[in-house]
Amino acid sequence: MIVFITGAAGFIGYHVAEKLLKEGTEVIGCDNLNDYYDVSLKIARLERLKRYPNFSFYPLDITSFDALKQIMTQHPNITHTLHLAAQAGVRHSLIDPFAYARSNILGHLNLLEALRSLQNLEHFVYASSSSVYGANEKQPFSTEDRVDQPLSLYAATKRAGELMSYCYSHLYPTPTTGLRYFTVYGPWGRPDMSSFIFTEAMLNDREIPVFNDGDMSRNFTYIDDVVAGTLACIKLPVTRKENPLENHRIYNIGNDRSEKLMDFIHVLEKTLGIKAKIRLEPMQKGDVRETTADISSSKRDFNYAPHTSIDVGIPQFVAWYLDYFKISKQNNLSTEIAS
């Protein structure tokens, strides 16, 4: 198996790549190392991957079709592709919508087209998002639900990627699979995610913005569970079906339960030994109050079994954060939590 991973220096891409490399799999990665968040974090992830002799890396942007074609020419024996490169972030899509059109629509299309030249490609797996469920009110979110009411441009572009993948799996030989990720967190995570934002604020005695007056719930999913589910899906034997509907599949990759945002903050408080200063704010445009994943099909088809609770995952994230930023926990315990 030879795996091509786009967004290899990203949060999920780094973790999946490292797991495959440890197993001895050849991994070909690409990333444009953009400055959506601190590039030094991406470089640090990448440097860890470069320690493996079975890893090769190309610094390119997937919006360049010619650059992608060059990789296919140099590596014609790629058997599996995991497409994780994208412009992330719901709120940022209100600021720079064109970045989402370029990366998540044009970039996705470029990759689908470039991969057509590979004779040995067995499976194309790509990242979608729980945000595609948009205005749906039924919980938990099921892959059988309608997803035609996106609440952000980010969600709309991820849904567009699903539709393009469905089309290509119908027209061409390679089966495609979309993974709708639910609020992934953990070591080496993105600085624009709540675990990162809250921890940094608490350590620096700043207020935490909590939207919808704290009435928010998320299907927080620890990175190790996400990696396990992603790899199980990639390795799932797939063959071309006569029924075109069966050549494109979508799965939810989330935890088996949703957590209240305030409970998430309380675990952070307990872990850090710091009382959070909370600033309640109204609901943000493009946001949803609750996300809960129906993972029954993921369990059925590739034995997906997330097991990491926030009581376990948050302390592991905090331990990494303090080590990465070389912060002494003891020097930041300015406010003890009331028992």
Which candidate, 146, 216, 210, 147, places its Cα nearest to that of 183?
A: 216
Considering the candidates 14, 58, 154, 185, report the single residue annotated as catalytic. 154
Is there a catalytic annotation at residue 166?
Answer: no
Which candidate, 137, 123, 34, places its Cα nearest to that of 83?
A: 123
Query: In which residue are the tokens 């999913």 written?
Result: 221
Which candidate, 188, 184, 190, 192, places its Cα nearest to that of 291?
A: 184
CA dihedral 179, 185, 186, 188 (to 10 degrees): 80
Whole-angstrom Cα distance, residue 108 to residue 85? 9
User: Which ranges of 28-125 would DSSP assign to H, the alpha helix?
Assistant: 39-49, 65-74, 97-100, 108-115
> Would you call 73 exposed, middle or buried from its count of C-beta atoms within 10 A (0-12, 13-18, 19+)?
exposed
DSSP state of 134: T
Beta strands 55-58; 26-30: pairing state: parallel
**Collapsed DSSP state (helix, strand, coil) of residue 192:** coil
Could you give the C-alpha distances from 42 to 13, 32, 49, 137, in angstroms and in order?
Answer: 10, 10, 11, 36
Contacts of 337 (CB under 8 A, 6+ apart): 269, 270, 273, 274, 275
Query: In which residue are the tokens 């995570």 written?
Result: 189
Which candidate, 40, 275, 211, 149, places its Cα nearest to that of 9?
A: 40
Beta strands 259-260; 221-222: pairing state: unpaired
Active site residues: 154
